[in-house]
Amino acid sequence: MNSTNHIELEKWVNEMAQLCQPDKIVWCNGSEREKKQLIQEGNAAGEIVELNQKKLPGCLFHRTHQNDVARTEHLTFICTNKKEAAGPTNNWMSPKEAYEKAKALFNGSMKGRTMYVVPFAMGQIGSKFCKLGVELTDSIYVVLNMRIMTTMGKKVLKALGTNGEFTKCLHSKADLNIERRLILHFPEDNTIWSVGSGYGGNVLLGKKCLALRIASHLGRKEGWMAEHMLIMGIEEPSGKVTYVAAAFPSACGKTNLAMIVPPPVFEKKGYKIWTVGDDIAWLKLDEEGDLRAVNPETGFFGVLPGTNSKTNPNAMATFKKNSIFTNVLLKKDKTVWWEGHDDPSPQEGTNWQGMDWKPGMTDLAGKPVLAAHPNSRFTSPITQCPTLSKEYFDPNGVKISAIIFGGRRNHTAPLVFEARNWPEGVYVGATMASELTAAQMGKLGEVRRDPMAMIPFCGYNMADYFNHWLETGKKMKSPPKIFHVNWFRRDENGKFIWPGYGDNLRVLSWILKRSSGEISAEDSPLGLIPKMEDIDFTGLNLTRETWNKLFDINQSEWEHEMTDRKNFFNKFGSDLPASILEEHTKLQERIFGQTVSV
């Protein structure tokens, strides 16, 4: 049943239906009844498994195609009229070619299926942050996920009215063939087309596609920022809550950090953590010139392997009910398991590939057969998170006092340092790098440059993006301080030097003290670093020797690092803001002690 008076929306739905030829069209209203029906249909079609409702009430299970378990960046395109608008770090295709190629794949792709019309909002309806979208999809799994990750249904149609603006999102699983898969963004048309995939970031089009790629483009045009950042509040014993935003590449522990449990000594003192978001932040300057942030999502789409009551008890509590588990082991009793779960390994089950699985199994090459895919995920409503901040619901967002950049670096980057000013901080963000994780296709462990953790998500030329950061800083009353952290440094035996997880609060607490100007810091070539006595190590037994390892600047590693940075910047040619190169030269001089050619 059609339930809109929005002529443009109706026309577009009809056009897309003509192209995809679904058997029927269902307009989603977001009701509980509709959810039940979707689950029933999904069950019948084998797309969804209802889990053990006693142990996991309201929970579902889904398995994606084996070649469809992570975002496919090489098949992801920014389609702008001019190639320069997409920049050297994005795949580009002309809109004409992209529409033509995709049309061939969408043609008849929904035959025998239902096309669901999913109106959704990112950010609170009515707030100045809010953006509306409509996703057409032939996947029940997508609809059920969008129900959790976005505000979805009737309310959104109402907000759209008769002529409201919206992002046109078209998705079809088609035949789930990687050879016939495309994730296309048309920022100039406010349109996203995704075909041939059923995996999260490729198909939940409100998430990376809209809330980052399209939104970053809109943000530049409209004077705000869409960032790949968690947002968290840290409450100090005085009751004061300070909010920070932190950018890390996918699967570097953003979800864990956003809901960390303070170590006992901090808990006793009265520290508390408040979660606002774990993946995406939309940031805007308010009238006072302060930077304010909202999380435009209403759910989490977090990594499961390694998640347990020790590493992330708040996530464990969050996904106890009403959650979707993707690509994990399905046990005989219709519960789920993954590597690193609290429970010991079950003796049998069906693994993420749909194979009968037993512990200790190996493949033909002798490699262990995993129960869960390393990038297996849970989808859960954010309201189920025990540490959810009440400020999450503030339509004006929270005031951001510090920005944290971080990556997964075995070597090179110290535990923490602070940029001396905004332009230096933008350079720190622009030089972020990280080892590849299971969320990306590619060689695990390989270091790749990932400015602001946005390399896969910036919807326009990154040189312009750096400039947008620099210009936004100039408009701020007093810009938040910018920090860089690395929880992942390893020693000569390959062991992590820093305990990580809850203990990261020790570093965050230093960051807060620096942000409020309570304490001084030591100078280092990279930036300002803590005096050892300014971080509370009670209960950790951290020696001066370990401390030195955490902050060591190894000249030969840094020679290599600086060359890698320069090679990366060279891609942008004369588009690169001069300030970035100036900061690069200054850092070169600070590390190597002389003017050298860069």
Q: Which residues are catalytic?
A: 252
301 sits near ligand SAT (criterion: CB under 6 A)? yes
CA 348 – CA 339 distance, rounded (Å): 13
143: tokens are 């609809």
Interface size with ligand SAT, residues (CB under 6 A) = 9
355: tokens are 């194979």
Among 226, 371, 403, 439, binds ligand SAT (CB under 6 A): 439
Among 42, 87, 133, 201, binds ligand SAT (CB under 6 A): 201
User: Taking contact as CB under 6 A, which single stretch among the options 186-194, 200-208, 354-362, 538-546 is the one that binds ligand SAT?
Assistant: 200-208
CA 78 – CA 217 distance, rounded (Å): 11
250 sits near ligand SAT (criterion: CB under 6 A)? yes
Among 6, 62, 63, 71, binds ligand SAT (CB under 6 A): 71
Residue position matching structure tokens 């200054």: 586
338 sits near ligand SAT (criterion: CB under 6 A)? no
Cβ distance to ligand SAT smaller for residue 63 or 207: 207
Among 76, 167, 250, 384, binds Mn ion (CB under 5 A): 250
CA 194 – CA 180 distance, rounded (Å): 11
Cβ distance to Mn ion smaller for residue 138 or 279: 279
Cβ distance to ligand SAT smaller for residue 136 or 183: 183
Question: To the nearest 10°, the Cα dihedral for 573, 578, 583, 584?
Answer: 20
502 sits near ligand SAT (criterion: CB under 6 A)? no
373 sits near ligand SAT (criterion: CB under 6 A)? no
CA 132 – CA 150 distance, rounded (Å): 10
User: Taking contact as CB under 5 A, which single stretch among the options 159-167, 248-256, 300-308, 575-583 is the one that binds Mn ion?
Assistant: 248-256
387 sits near Mn ion (criterion: CB under 5 A)? no
139: tokens are 């996947």
CA 416 – CA 483 distance, rounded (Å): 7
Angle, CA 396 vertex, CA 467 and CA 156 arms, to 5°: 100
Contacting residues for 563 by C-beta, under 8 A, at least 6 apart: none
Q: 305 is in the binding site of which of Mn ion, ligand SAT, none (Cβ under 5 to 8 A by kind)? A: none
Cβ distance to Mn ion smaller for residue 279 or 450: 279
Among 173, 207, 448, 513, binds ligand SAT (CB under 6 A): 207
244 sits near ligand SAT (criterion: CB under 6 A)? no
Q: Is 332 helix (H, G, I), strand (E, B) or coil?
A: coil
Residue position matching structure tokens 């947008």: 468
Q: Is residue 438 within 8 Å of 330, Cβ to Cβ?
A: no
Q: Which helix (H) or strand (E) holds 543?
A: none
Cβ distance to ligand SAT smaller for residue 140 or 470: 140
437 sits near Mn ion (criterion: CB under 5 A)? no
6 sits near ligand SAT (criterion: CB under 6 A)? no
Q: Is 274 helix (H, G, I), strand (E, B) or coil?
A: strand
Cβ distance to Mn ion smaller for residue 279 or 391: 279
User: Taking contact as CB under 6 A, which single stretch among the options 59-67, 175-183, 199-207, 533-541 is the one that binds ligand SAT?
Assistant: 199-207
Which amino acid is located at 195 in the chain?
Answer: V
Return the biggest CA–CA distance within the chain.
72
CA 265 – CA 271 distance, rounded (Å): 9
Site string for ligand SAT, 395-434 (x = CB under 6 A): ----------------------------------------
298 sits near ligand SAT (criterion: CB under 6 A)? no
Residue 182 bridge partners (DSSP): 195
Three-state SS sequence of 278-323: CCCEEEEECCCCCEEEECCCCEEEEECCCCCCCCCHHHHHHCCCCC
Cβ distance to ligand SAT smaller for residue 440 or 579: 440
292 sits near ligand SAT (criterion: CB under 6 A)? no
305 sits near ligand SAT (criterion: CB under 6 A)? no
User: Minimum distance from CB of 551 to Mn ion (Å)?
Assistant: 28
183 sits near ligand SAT (criterion: CB under 6 A)? no
CA 86 – CA 458 distance, rounded (Å): 9
Return residues touching Mn ion (CB under 5 A). 250, 279
Binding footprint of ligand SAT on the chain (CB under 6 A): 71, 200-201, 207-208, 250, 279, 301, 439
